[in-house]
């Protein structure tokens, strides 16, 4: 099998020739992404290209997710021309800051993001919603469907070939609301303002649904990843609210994906053990990264027993183990994971995240190599 056939087989519940191996955000065939531009990652990325099964994250707007920066008015998923966005940038030491000022019909709201040199992540240090007035301003932003150009999809498919599959990527309604608040403020709001939360969820659901349908109508797929449910997993919110805030909405997004003969992979870190069956109920074709204790609360063996006949499981090699373990430890962890998850298929070996530091540590590179080599040796069906 080639990588495309291998990945499609596990998504369809069929037995592949071997366990697919994917390295999460380390996408070997996306030559212009951050990892492929870092010299300390060159050697690892070449190994990824040669020996793993790529899931190519495709975005239709200059490589950015819909939530990033000004794309589609960012956090508000609208193409309205009646709301302006102002961006102010400055440097403090090794940190680069960006303030986004959104001029809504009811007044200004703003957020601040920080990016540190040598670290591939964005920190939100000030959120858009700080009080009730800010919430009203957010809800006053007009909605005009966002229709980005999808012309880059053909080039992405040509670049990837049969070395993997392409996935589109979108947050669910809850994660967009979550990212507007400070974490503790979000939890208080979600617990105490259920009616208002549902109004916000309905607002974002309409926008995300329209955006996702646009991508699917223009050939996105064969997979779509939905991220966001982790912020409602117990103990953050009770299981009742997980069903109300996640299941009721994400099920409809997944139904839409299936209507276009595509597969849905749901991304949720943390303690998913108490809601595993809900992911299957939503109709998810796959779930990642299924983290074992102490980072999560469910072993791969248990997840396999409970939903492995319905949902393909991606995971669950912890990034911290790849960054701190020895090569022998990684080989043993990989073999143990294969023993737990290989039976009957529906498993993709994948780290729970990707490194974000520069330079890449030599120890981390060697451990990635050990994981890949071990999986190729012991992952044959």
Intra-chain end-to-end CA distance of the chain, in Å: 12
| 324's tokens | 């701190």
pLDDT digits (tens, 9 = 90+) for 301-331: 999 999 999 999 999 999 999 999 999 999 9
Instruction: State the burial class of residue 328 (Cβ atoms within 10 Å of its Cβ: 0-12, 13-18, 19+).
Output: exposed
Tallying the residues shown for the chain, one arrives at 381
Cα–Cα distance, 229 to 274 (Å, whole number): 13
Is residue 245 within 8 A of residue 230, CB to CB? The reply is: no
SS3 assignment, position 334: helix
Crossing angle of helices 248-259 and 194-217, in 10° steps, is 10
pLDDT number for residue 61: 66
Report the SS3 class of residue 35.
helix
**Pair 228, 284: CB distance under 8 Å:** no
The CA distance from 235 to 217, in Å, is 38
Nearest 5°: CA angle at 138, between 121 and 229? 50
Q: How many CB atoms sit inside 10 A of residue 44's CB?
A: 22
Tokens of 212: 């996702």
Which residues in the chain show pLDDT less than 70? 61-72
Give the model's pLDDT for residue 342.
95
CA distance 237 to 59: 31
| Tokens found for residue 183 | 């974490």
Contact yes or no for 104/140 (Cβ under 8 A): yes
Residue 16: name the closest of 356, 345, 360 by CA. 345
Q: List the domains of the chain with CATH numbers.
A: 3-69+143-378 (3.20.20.210)
pTM, to two decimals: 0.95
Cis preceding-peptide flag for 294 (omega within 30 of 0): yes
The per-residue pLDDT of the chain, averaged, comes to: 94
Chain position carrying tokens 């919603």 = 129
Sole residue written with tokens 């609301």? 177
* DSSP output for 140-185: TS---------THHHHHHHHHTTSEEEEEEEE-HHHHHHTTS-HHH
Residue-wise pLDDT tens digits, 209-222? 999 999 999 999 99
Q: What is the pLDDT of residue 33?
A: 85
- Closest C-alpha among 246, 317, 309 to residue 288: 317
Query: Kind of pairing, strands 223-227 and 164-171?
Result: parallel
Share above pLDDT 70 across residues of the chain, in percent, rounded to a whole number: 97
Bridge partners, residue 264, by sequence: 224
Q: 3-state SS string over 349-381?
A: EEECCCCCECCCCHHHHHHHHHHHHHHHHHCEC
């Amino acid at each position: 099998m080639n990588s495309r056939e291998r990945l499609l087989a596990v998504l369809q519940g069929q037995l592949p020739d071997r366990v697919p191996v994917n390295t999460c955000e380390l996408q070997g065939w996306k030559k212009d992404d951050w990892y492929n531009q870092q010299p300390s990652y060159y050697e690892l990325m070449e190994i990824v290209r040669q020996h793993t099964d790529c899931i190519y994250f495709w975005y239709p707007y200059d490589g950015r997710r819909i939530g990033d920066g000004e794309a589609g008015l960012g956090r508000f998923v609208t193409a309205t021309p009646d709301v302006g966005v102002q961006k102010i940038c400055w440097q403090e030491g090794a940190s680069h800051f960006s303030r986004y000022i959104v001029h809504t019909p009811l007044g200004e709201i703003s957020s601040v993001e920080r990016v540190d040199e040598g670290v591939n992540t964005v920190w939100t240090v000030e959120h858009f919603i700080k009080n009730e007035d800010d919430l009203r301003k957010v809800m006053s932003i007009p909605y005009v469907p966002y229709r980005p150009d999808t012309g880059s999809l053909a080039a992405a498919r040509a670049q990837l070939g049969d070395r993997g599959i392409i996935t589109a990527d979108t947050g669910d309604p809850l994660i967009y609301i979550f990212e507007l608040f400070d974490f503790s403020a979000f939890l208080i709001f979600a617990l105490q303002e259920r009616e208002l939360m549902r109004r916000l969820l309905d607002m974002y659901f309409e926008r995300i649904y329209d955006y996702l349908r646009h991508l699917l109508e223009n050939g996105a797929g064969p997979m779509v990843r939905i991220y966001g449910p982790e912020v409602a997993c117990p103990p953050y919110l009770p299981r009742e609210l997980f069903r109300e805030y996640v299941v009721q909405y994400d099920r409809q997004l997944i139904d839409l994906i299936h209507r276009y003969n595509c597969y849905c992979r749901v991304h949720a870190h943390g303690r998913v053990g108490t809601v595993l069956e809900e992911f299957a109920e939503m109709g998810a074709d796959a779930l990642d990264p299924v983290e074992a204790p102490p980072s999560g609360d469910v072993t791969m063996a248990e997840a396999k027993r409970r939903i492995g006949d319905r949902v393909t499981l991606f995971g669950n090699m912890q990034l911290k183990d790849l960054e701190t373990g020895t090569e022998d430890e990684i080989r043993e962890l990989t073999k143990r994971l294969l023993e737990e998850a290989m039976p009957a298929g529906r498993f993709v070996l994948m780290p729970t995240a990707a490194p974000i530091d520069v330079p890449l540590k030599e120890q981390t590179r060697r451990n990635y190599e050990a994981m890949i080599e071990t999986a190729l040796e012991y992952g044959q069906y």
